[in-house]
Amino acid sequence: MGERTFGSADDFYRIRIIRVDVPDELEWEWRDDILWRTPEADAQLTTLRYRIEVVDKDSSEARAIAEVEDPGAAREVAETADEDLAQLTKRQFDARYGLDAG
């Protein structure tokens, strides 16, 4: 029996937002006694990003559909995707969010 591939998208997927701390590029300092070293820990900065993912309800496999820096924008993308889950078939949802390729 084959895997079911038709029906409402919300039967197959759920949406989640993941907060990702992306470290800013480190700057290397020159020292005569060693070739390189990392900056002090408190000098390292991070950029917050928010990844919106579609999670397969059966396998728990997650695939990113968007990544933004603003939490409000992340909520908007997630709400739109949730609305699409309720209104679209799995095939339509896969096509809209580029999930049918893999």
Q: Quote the CA–CA distance of 59 and 99 in Å, as a whole number.
A: 15
- Using CA atoms, how far residue 82 sits from 20, 24, 32, 95, in Å, is 21, 32, 56, 15
- Residue ranges of the domains in the chain? 9-96
C-alpha atoms less than 13 angstroms from C-alpha of 68 in its C-beta half-sphere: 14
Find out whether 52 and 19 touch, Cβ atoms under 8 Å.
no
pLDDT in tens, 15-40: 999 999 877 665 555 556 555 555 55
80 pLDDT above the threshold of 80: yes
Which has the closest alpha carbon to 30: 18, 21, 39? 39
Q: Which residue has the higher pLDDT, 100 or 73?
A: 73
What local confidence, expressed as pLDDT, does residue 61 receive? 94
Hey, is 92 helix, strand or coil? Answer: helix
